């Protein structure tokens, strides 16, 4: 079972690039972030025509997450628990059915800039809520994967130039500490489990020749529960997508689990 995450930075802007990648990469399940579309505006027919079940949690103009799955989905849930007043569309989860089901939690964690400030407070509070959801899922002992754009640079080696990020919400100590707290619950960072060295990035800014200079950061992560980590076979980052026509500033990141 191949599970992928991809911040597409606008479904309409990527309406040709995304199907092309799907046809080439052939993931079974994809969690998308920043679809920037209401549910009714999402071009689901395009992806249903490729054999995917489509579930969305959209928002006009920004945010928005979705799951595309070639396998049946059940128990679809929208919105991160813990704050009924939160109207930002940043979390969607579902059980991918099959002989060995796995729950996928697709997330678009808040950026948090400028920090300090209300946006950073929201980021940290959101991460605390996510930690609570992870604790609940761990207690159920079902296999699950939390995959998406975390907007967190976990370590210095996850940035080509970490010195440029020391005052940014993505790299502030509190952000990295909150990320470590989730990992320390017993989750596995899938990419690091297979690719422990430096120079591995998932995002290159559109500005200042970041792509051409390989001035990237790793902020798209797949965290596996112990039951999912036991099935880990392979991971990858489809870096070449960033050099394609009308690319997102992120690239797909994926993991293959034993069926």
Q: Which residues are catalytic?
A: 108, 149, 250
Answer yes or no: is 149 a known binding residue: yes
Integer Cα distance of 187 and 69 in angstroms: 23
250 marked as binding residue: yes
Where b means 16+ CB within 10 Å and e means fewer, 95-118 reads bbeeeebbbbbbbbbbbbeebeee
Got the DSSP string for 69-115?
ESS-EEEEEES-TT-TT-----EEEEEE-SSS-EEEEEEE-----SS
249 a known binding residue?
Answer: yes
CA-based end-to-end distance of the chain: 5
Q: Establish whether 34 is an annotated binding residue.
A: yes
3-state SS, residue 179: helix
Q: Which residues are annotated as a binding site for Mg(2+)?
A: 7, 34, 149, 151, 249-250
Q: Which residues are annotated as a binding site?
A: 7, 34, 149, 151, 249-250
């Amino acid at each position: 079972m191949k599970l992928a995450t991809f911040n597409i930075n606008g479904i309409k802007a990527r309406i040709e690039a995304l199907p092309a990648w799907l046809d080439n990469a052939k993931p079974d399940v994809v969690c998308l972030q920043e679809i920037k579309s209401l549910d009714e505006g999402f071009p689901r027919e395009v992806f249903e025509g490729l054999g995917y079940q489509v579930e969305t949690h959209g928002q006009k103009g920004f945010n928005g997450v979705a799951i595309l799955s070639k396998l049946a989905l059940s128990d679809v849930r929208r919105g991160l628990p813990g704050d009924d007043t939160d109207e930002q569309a940043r979390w969607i989860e579902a059980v991918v059915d099959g002989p060995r089901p796995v729950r996928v939690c697709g997330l678009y964690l808040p950026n948090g800039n400028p920090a300090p400030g209300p946006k950073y407070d929201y980021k940290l509070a959101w991460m605390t809520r996510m930690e609570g959801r992870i604790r609940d899922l761990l207690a159920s002992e079902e296999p699950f994967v939390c995959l998406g754009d975390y907007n967190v640079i976990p370590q210095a080696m996850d940035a080509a130039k970490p010195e440029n990020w020391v005052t940014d919400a993505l790299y502030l100590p509190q952000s990295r500490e909150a990320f470590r707290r989730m990992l320390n619950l017993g989750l596995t960072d899938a990419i690091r489990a297979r690719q422990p060295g430096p120079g591995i990035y998932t995002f290159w800014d559109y500005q200042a020749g970041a792509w051409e200079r390989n001035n990237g950061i790793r902020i798209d992560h797949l965290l596996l529960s112990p039951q999912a980590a036991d099935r880990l076979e392979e991971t990858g980052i489809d870096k070449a997508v960033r050099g394609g026509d009308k690319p997102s500033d992120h690239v797909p990141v994926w993991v293959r689990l034993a069926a």
